[in-house]
A and B are shown apart, each in its own frame.
Chain A
Amino acid sequence: MNDRAHEGSLGGRGALTAILLIAFAVSLVGVGWEDGLLNSGGLRAVGQIVAAAIQPQLTLDVLSIGARSTWTTLAYAWAGMTVALVIGLPLGIIGSGTLVRSPWARRWNISFARFALAVFRAIHELVWAWLFVAALGLSPMAGVLALGLPYGGILGRIYAELLQDVPDAPLRALRGAGASEWRVFWFGRLPMALPDMLSYTFYRLECGIRSAAILSFVGLGGLGHNIHISLQDIDYSRMWTFVYFLIALVLVVDLWSSLVRRRVAIEQG
């Protein structure tokens, strides 16, 4: 199916590029630049923000608020990822269609799970947040669910693909040794897909931290909430303190993920 793309590529790609460029140009005109995207005070504010970056507020008071809200944001992200795993792992496994042998059952598994995953994924976490806040009020549960549902949809879809794309020869050998599809899954498919699945899950945890910060702008507490308040108070030094906490949090998660991945890569299971 890639053949066609290769054959017709030059003409097709040229046209596509042209269309995208035109669309971009139109969008530039469409944006209301004159409505003060950069207002008169804008440049001065930018200068102040940049200057504040090198002198974040480091009083004990601000640091302890920073530490506590870092914890809150991490907790949201973590709880959200847990919900996402509960949704994404089973639906991803079903959606890979690898547990059943008959083509008919496989097609149904894939269609059902992919449809459910698409529904979760189609709605952005901010929209979910809006829905859940409307339903549950400003509660942590609203934030966790708002994060967990779309992330579950994304995780499940990627898991399904990673589980499908595993090399076939080892699986055939396991079937030859008498293994049922479930055993083939546990002993062949999952171990082969696991490093990539872990890696992607960690990447999503990072995204989850950023999203949790954004959700806290909405009023759910955490780092985003404090950044928001500092901006309202025009206290850029304090804002930077919280931004640095956020950066540090993402870096720590990144470090942790590379440690775990190295373990999975080298150690036998």
Chain B
Amino acid sequence: MKTTSPSKISPATSASSPNSSRPAILIDGAGKTYGDVEAVRPISLTIEPGETVALLGPSGSGKTTLLSMMAGELEPSQGSIHLRGKNLADLHPGRELSREVGMIHQQYDLVPNLSSLQNVLAGRLGDWGLLKSVISLVWPQDRQVGLTALEQVGVVDRARVRAGFLSGGEQQRIAVARLLVQDPAIIIADEPVSSLDPARAEEVMGILSESARQAGKTLVASVHSTDVARTYFGRLIGLRNGGREFDLPSHLVTDDQLDALYTLEGLQDE
């Protein structure tokens, strides 16, 4: 079930591969408050390596906040988060962190005037020396790694096109390919397809979850559509007002639970 990415085997990944007893993500009472707003109430949960987890919940329920904390982009107000046994707070931002976790954001964040290939290869910047990085601007290094990733997400024919000229769906595929090249153990995605039309969204989500599954990566994503969540994810976590409503294997989540998550505004007491 667990295979390493064909593109690259990082020491960190291979070192901990045999050790599957350690959870990929261990959240211990982590929460986030802004002033007196509880964006995420203290929550504890465990995500095993290779799991695909979808966060569901209405707007403002805390999905982005929780994901950003898992990705090390946001510090929890309390509690702790461990990624594969390492305390997130101790991981050096940069290379060390980028081995553990990578995040795809809702908005497109490619460098618009570099080619798709170069954007994808930017996933390697944590490994490249400065000289190699600069040379790569004119003469892309490790081309094959980039092309393989582009092929995986189905846009290898766009390799030479500048990212700014691509459609939204293509740009999100490039962002997925960049993450594949970065090759973190854990992939976090915050509504990566919410700005795409439904057909395109389904395609990209399929590519993302399939790539994660193939490479044996842990995937945690916030998803708009409950259908997409049930199709592509093994486990669903429902969030509301910063708190967890349910946390179940996706085939056990009922329509009633989903309806309640989105529609019972104000009727639910805690």
Give residues in A with beta carbon < 8 Å to B: 169-170, 172-180, 182-184, 186-188, 191-192, 194-195, 266, 268-269
In the A-B complex, the 9 residue pairs with the smallest Cβ-Cβ separation, listed nearest first, are A178-B126, A178-B98, A268-B115, A179-B125, A173-B109, A169-B109, A178-B95, A183-B125, A170-B111
**Binary A-proximity of B100-122 (CB < 8 A = 1, otherwise 0):** 00110101111111110010001
Q: How far is the CB of A137 from chain B (nearest CB, A)?
A: 42
Q: How far is the CB of B95 from chain A (nearest CB, A)?
A: 4
**One of A177, A179, A187 near B114 (C-beta < 8 A):** A187
A176-B103 in contact given A182-B130, A183-B130, A187-B133 (Cβ < 8 Å): yes
- A269 & B94 in contact (Cβ 8 Å cutoff): no
Q: How far is the CA of A176 from the CA of B114 in the complex (A)?
A: 18
- B98 & A192 in contact (Cβ 8 Å cutoff): no
Q: How far is the CA of A187 from the CA of B141 in the complex (A)?
A: 13
**One of A172, A173, A175, A269 near B137 (C-beta < 8 A):** A269
Residues of A near B203 (CB, < 8 A) are: none
- A178 & B99 in contact (Cβ 8 Å cutoff): yes
Indicate if B71 sits at the interface (CB-CB under 8 A). Answer: yes
Residues of A near B115 (CB, < 8 A) are: 268-269
Residues of B near A188 (CB, < 8 A) are: 111, 122
**One of B107, B113, B127, B138 near A195 (C-beta < 8 A):** B113
Residue on A with the closest CB to B99? Answer: A178
Q: How far is the CA of A61 from the CA of B112 in the complex (A)?
A: 53
Residue on B with the closest CB to A268? Answer: B115
- A178 & B97 in contact (Cβ 8 Å cutoff): yes
Residue on B with the closest CB to A172? Answer: B109
- B126 & A177 in contact (Cβ 8 Å cutoff): yes
Question: How many CB-defined contacts (below 8 Å) exist between A and B?
Answer: 95
Indicate if B134 sits at the interface (CB-CB under 8 A). Answer: yes
Residues of B near A180 (CB, < 8 A) are: 94, 125, 130
Residues of B near A177 (CB, < 8 A) are: 98, 102, 122-126, 178, 182
- A175 & B94 in contact (Cβ 8 Å cutoff): yes
**One of B99, B128, B138 near A269 (C-beta < 8 A):** B138
Residues of B near A169 (CB, < 8 A) are: 105, 107-109
- B98 & A176 in contact (Cβ 8 Å cutoff): yes
A176-B73 in contact given A169-B105, A268-B118 (Cβ < 8 Å): yes
Q: How far is the CA of A184 from the CA of B94 in the complex (A)?
A: 11
**One of B103, B109, B111, B178 near A191 (C-beta < 8 A):** B111
Residue on A with the closest CB to B93? Answer: A175
- B114 & A173 in contact (Cβ 8 Å cutoff): no
A186-B122 in contact given A173-B109, A173-B110, A195-B113 (Cβ < 8 Å): no
Residues of B near A187 (CB, < 8 A) are: 111, 114, 118, 122, 125, 133, 136-137
Q: Can you identify 17 A-B contacts, CB atoms within 8 angstroms?
A: A169-B109, A172-B109, A173-B109, A173-B178, A174-B122, A178-B99, A178-B182, A179-B94, A180-B130, A183-B128, A183-B130, A186-B137, A187-B111, A187-B136, A188-B122, A192-B112, A194-B113
**One of A175, A176, A192, A195 near B111 (C-beta < 8 A):** A192
Residues of A near B162 (CB, < 8 A) are: 266, 268
Q: How far is the CB of A103 from chain B (nearest CB, A)?
A: 16
Q: How far is the CA of A33 from the CA of B19 in the complex (A)?
A: 92
Q: How far is the CB of B263 from chain A (nearest CB, A)?
A: 33
Residues of B near A269 (CB, < 8 A) are: 113-115, 118, 137-138
Residue on B with the closest CB to A265? Answer: B113
Indicate if B160 sits at the interface (CB-CB under 8 A). Answer: yes
A178-B127 in contact given A169-B105, A195-B113, A269-B113 (Cβ < 8 Å): yes
Q: How far is the CA of A199 from the CA of B97 in the complex (A)?
A: 38
Indicate if B74 sits at the interface (CB-CB under 8 A). Answer: no
- B94 & A186 in contact (Cβ 8 Å cutoff): no
- B122 & A179 in contact (Cβ 8 Å cutoff): yes
Q: How far is the CB of A61 from chain B (nearest CB, A)?
A: 47
